[in-house]
Amino acid sequence: MNAAIGYIAIAAVAVASALIGFYGLRVSRTTSDFYVASRTVRPWWNASAIGGEYLSAASFLGIAGLILLTGSSALWFPIGYTAGYLMLLLFVAAPLRRSGAYTIPDFTEARLDSLWARRVTSTLVIVIGWFYIVPQLQGAALTVRITTGLPAWVGSVAVAVIVAVIVAAGGMRSITFVQAFQFWLKLTALAIPVVAILLFVGDVQPALPPVAAFPTSAGPGDLEVYRTVSLMVALLLGTLGLPHVLVRFYTNPDGVAARRTTVIVLVLLSVFYLFPTAFGFLGRAFAPDLASSGDADALVLLLPDRLIPGPLGDVLTALVIAGAFAAFLSTSSGLVVSLAGVISQDLLGGSVRGFRIAAVLSSFVPLVVALATEPAGLAGSVGLVFAFTASTLCPVLLLGIWWRRLTARGAIAGMVTGAVLSGVAILGGGAVAASLPALRPLLEQPAAWTVPVAVLVTVLVSLGDRRGIPRGTDRFLARLHVPEAITRPGEG
Amino acid sequence: MTRGASDAGPPADDPAAPPARDSPPHPERVRVTAPRAGSGPAAARSAVHRAEGGPTSDIAGVYVRSLIRSQLRLGIVFALGFVIATALFVLAIAVVPQLDRTFVLGVPLSWLLLGAGVYPLAITVGALYVRAASRNEARYRALAEDE
């Protein structure tokens, strides 16, 4: 592959992001009131912005790579990423918008009237955010290595530095249209190559005949039930607790608009995920060698050039590289913004200086982790973060919104239990599974048992809490569920 | 709050008014009393304020709790519906071996169905839920305004 294309595409996206970030700095200064702005954001813009922030390296590169690697079991990842928003719609969207909380720690503190519940939630949000950024940086490392031939670490460092600078400088905050633009860039960057390949590939002979490329043994009929169910639990419930998702909902004017936005997000994600899926299918037929070389996650980057040589192939390659970098940058900056918000508020006194320090900290801790660890498959790593989120923040959110008897002690006990169980399974599972192979699926996909245990602990400790439910619980629950027109009738 | 203030409410809530009119007329007798804080569309709001310390056994609190219950029931029904429909869909793909042998554009139909078939289901469930949840809220609104 022509390295110049890689340099040009990466530099263009980096410069564009920086420019938009600094231009956005001026916008966010002139926008006197975030609330005023929020009421003018239309559901379509808002939904695009949510999609832009949500679609990460795992979606852009990881899914196609995993389809190439493991077959149709990988199709459950995009299904889960999308259906997670259905769960968000059914149980969280409108109440959380009405709660008035910007972040999940804000929500738990207000709901449970407890600073300790807030601190535990903040810690979890920071851990989740860091481990969610790591695969983005590893995706950047892979992209730089494959497309430019530079050492892989350059990609991780570049993304971490760009994100830290943009966020610390104050850009990317509450700039809905930047994230919305990123969504459409990512969609275009996958859709146009897929369409072009389907149009021009007629005379290229597939490397494998269809029967060999799509064996029944890797097909939908050969379903590992426990793993699939556990993955679905992780993805469906993990989406509820992602730190960067909640703040986007705040730009909806009310709960009803939050619901409408979420349905549009469902539509946008459904359309988007058709294209990584198509890339995966094309890869199985035309580039099966990538699966054995360990670069399956680079499939999206390499396939256009392989199938369409010449200038058109170069243009398409530049497009997918730009889309990939947009994915790393938008997800990472969305996460760093929410992490820096939490860190600066809880640890550094909430000053602007504190926010800047926190932004740098939020980018560089995951950078160290990304450089120190061996990259695993992108989709799989992000799937584990979802399992951890589902076991820790999801029980508190769901019970906090729907169950009157939840107490701060119950919430803390549940979060700690979920964190310890899923954390041990994810980090230490390999060692245990080596001696007890029967437990391997339980440890590699822990959500199916860690989430119920965390919920059970939360419920039992809450019921046994002699201090009873927090004061103001009924008032808070009414605020979450009563439609806005009733709670604020013309402020009369 | 004066009677006049609560009368001024409905025009401001215009979007809220049509669903309230759609609900069936209530056959039971409506109690008419002197103006008080708990009447009119502000009923729920005042209940919200009162809930701070004291008991919420008053009628507005009952309405709120029943709204929460009906919304939770709705969410669970739609979630279960989605999960069961997806499971049946996948089962159907798995038990029809012809789908593995039918190729469209070089890809087995079973792969294409799993790759694209669940999304329309998720969107449909989501869209139906939004209507049902808004209906629950409209019903609550009608109750709270009639109180």
Task: Kindly report, residue by residue over A395-433, the tens digit of the pLDDT.
Answer: 999 999 999 999 999 999 999 999 999 998 888 777 777
Q: How far is CA A423 from the centre of its chain?
A: 18
Given this model, what pLDDT does residue A41 score?
65
- Residue B34, pLDDT above cutoff 70: no
- Per-residue pLDDT band for A255 (boundaries 50, 70, 90) equals confident
CB contacts, 8 Å: A87 with chain B = 79
Beta pairing class for B107-108 and B103-104: antiparallel
- Residue B1, pLDDT above cutoff 50: no
Cβ distance of A485 and B16 shorter than 8 Å: yes
Q: Percent of chain A beyond pLDDT 70?
A: 92
Given this model, what pLDDT does residue B41 score?
38
Among chain A residues, the shortest Cα distance to B60 is held by A478
Alpha-helix runs per DSSP H in A250-298: 255-286, 289-293
Higher pLDDT, B9 or A6: A6
Cross-chain CB nearest to A487 (options B44, B52, B105): B44
Given this model, what pLDDT does residue A21 score?
65
Burial class (CB in 10 A: 0-12, 13-18, 19+), A35: exposed
As for the ipTM of the complex, it is 0.89
Cβ distance of A89 and B90 shorter than 8 Å: no
Cβ distance of A220 and B114 shorter than 8 Å: yes
Nearest to A474 by CA among A403, A396, A410, A411: A403
Residue B55 C-alpha, separation from nearest chain A C-alpha, in angstroms: 9
CA dihedral A194, A197, A200, A204 (to 10 degrees): -150
C-alpha A140/C-alpha A137 separation (Å) is 5
**Domain parsing of chain B, residue ranges:** 3-146
Given this model, what pLDDT does residue A204 score?
73
Name all domains of chain A by residue range, CATH numbers in brackets. 3-378 (1.20.1730.10)
Residue A218 C-alpha, separation from nearest chain B C-alpha, in angstroms: 10
Among chain B residues, the shortest Cα distance to A485 is held by B13
C-alpha B126/C-alpha A266 separation (Å) is 8
Neighbour tally for A455: CB within 10 Å: 21
Average pLDDT over residues B9-28: 42
Cross-chain CB nearest to A90 (options B45, B78, B116): B78
Given this model, what pLDDT does residue A410 score?
94
Cβ distance of B122 and A86 shorter than 8 Å: yes
Q: Tokens standing for A278?
A: 């198509």
- Per-residue pLDDT band for A272 (boundaries 50, 70, 90) equals very high
Q: Tokens standing for A367?
A: 């950078």
DSSP symbol at B29: P
Helix (H/G/I), strand (E/B), else coil: B107: strand
Provide DSSP, A370-398.
HHHS----HHHHHHHHHHHHHHHHHHHHH
C-alpha A221/C-alpha A76 separation (Å) is 13
Bridge partners, B47 (sequence order): none
C-alpha A228/C-alpha A245 separation (Å) is 24
Task: Kindly report, residue by residue over A349-367, the tens digit of the pLDDT.
Answer: 767 788 888 889 889 999 9
Task: Kindly report, residue by residue over A88-126, the tens digit of the pLDDT.
Answer: 999 998 898 888 887 888 899 999 999 999 999 999 999
Average pLDDT score over chain B:
70
C-alpha A164/C-alpha A18 separation (Å) is 11
Cβ distance of A90 and B42 shorter than 8 Å: no
Q: What do you get for the CA distance between the two ends of chain B, in Å?
A: 16
Residue B27 C-alpha, separation from nearest chain A C-alpha, in angstroms: 23
Q: Tokens standing for A17?
A: 């992001």
- Residue B49, pLDDT above cutoff 80: no
Cβ distance of B72 and A216 shorter than 8 Å: no
Contact A179, A299 (CB under 8 A): no
CB pairs below 8 Å between A and B: how many? 170
Instruction: Select the residue from A63, A211, A486 to test the B interface by mutation, using most B Cβ atoms within 10 A.
Output: A486
Given this model, what pLDDT does residue A58 score?
84
